[in-house]
C-alpha cells in the first residue's frame, strides 16, 4: 500500500495546535477528525499530506491510524488523556511548533475555521456523507478498512501516489 510516511513529531505539534485552538482541552474524536480533515484537504488541494500515515475507515468515520494510536496510548509527550479516555489536554510547552510551516499553519487555521465549531458527532456525521468524504466506507466485520490515497485524491490520484511513493522510498534511506 502506498502512503505518505507518518511524521510523529509533526503530528504531535499539529495536535497541540488544535488543542490550543480549543482552549487547552479537546475531545479525542474531534481531534482525530480535525487531523484527518487537515491531511485530506492538503492531499486534495495540494497533492501532499501534512502528517501522513495510514488512513482508516472506522465506525465513527475516517482517522489516521498512527494518530489514533498516539492518542490512545499517550505517546505524544505533553498531551495526556483524561481518565475516561475521551479528552486530550496539553501538559507542557515544548511541542516543536517550529515544525509547523506557514503553509501547515494556514491549513490548520482553515480546517479549524471550517470545522472547529462542530461537535465530535457532527464531525463524524460530516465524514460519513459521500459528498464530503467519498473515500469513507462503513467498515466490515473487521471494524476497520484501509482508505487508499487514490480514493482520497480523486482526480489527482496518480500525481499523489507518485509523490507518496517517492517520499516513502526517501524515508527508508
Q: Please give the pLDDT value at position 88.
A: 97
Rounded CA-CA distance 40/53 in Å is: 12
Task: Divide the 173 residues of the chain into consecutive groups of 10 and give the mean pLDDT of each group.
Answer: 91 97 97 98 96 94 96 92 93 86 98 98 97 92 84 91 82 54
Which pLDDT score is estimated for 171? 61
pLDDT of the residue at 41? 97
Q: pTM of the prediction?
A: 0.93
Is position 3 within any domain? no
Instruction: Give the total number of structural domains in the chain.
Output: 1
* CA distance between the termini of the chain: 18
Domain range for residue 62? 8-171
Q: Cα separations (Å) of 119 from 75, 79, 131, 162?
A: 25, 20, 19, 35
Give the pLDDT confidence score for residue 173 in this predicted structure: 46
On whether residue 2 sits in a domain, the answer given is no
| The pLDDT value given to residue 92 | 76
Q: Are strands 145-147 and 79-81 parallel, antiparallel or unpaired?
A: unpaired
SS3 156: helix
Give per-residue pLDDT as tens, 104-146.
999 999 999 999 999 999 999 999 999 999 999 988 776 778 9
Domain membership flag for residue 58: yes
Amino acid at each position: 500500500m502506498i502512503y505518505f510516511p507518518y511524521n510523529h513529531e509533526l503530528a504531535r505539534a499539529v495536535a497541540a495546535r488544535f488543542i490550543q485552538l480549543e482552549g487547552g482541552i479537546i475531545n479525542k474524536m474531534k481531534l482525530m477528525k480535525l487531523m484527518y480533515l487537515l491531511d485530506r484537504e492538503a492531499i486534495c488541494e495540494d497533492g501532499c499530506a501534512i502528517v501522513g500515515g495510514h488512513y482508516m475507515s472506522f465506525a465513527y468515520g475516517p482517522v489516521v491510524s498512527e494518530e489514533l494510536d498516539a492518542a490512545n496510548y499517550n505517546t505524544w509527550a505533553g498531551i495526556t488523556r483524561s481518565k475516561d479516555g475521551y479528552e486530550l489536554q496539553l501538559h507542557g510547552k515544548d511541542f516543536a511548533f517550529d515544525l509547523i510551516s506557514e503553509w501547515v499553519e494556514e491549513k490548520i487555521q482553515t480546517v479549524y475555521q471550517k470545522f472547529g465549531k462542530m461537535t465530535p458527532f457532527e464531525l463524524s456525521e460530516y465524514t460519513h456523507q459521500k459528498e464530503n468524504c467519498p473515500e469513507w466506507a462503513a467498515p466490515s466485520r473487521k471494524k476497520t478498512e484501509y482508505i487508499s490515497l487514490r480514493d482520497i485524491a480523486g482526480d489527482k490520484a496518480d500525481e499523489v501516489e507518485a509523490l507518496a511513493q517517492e517520499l516513502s522510498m526517501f524515508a527508508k534511506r
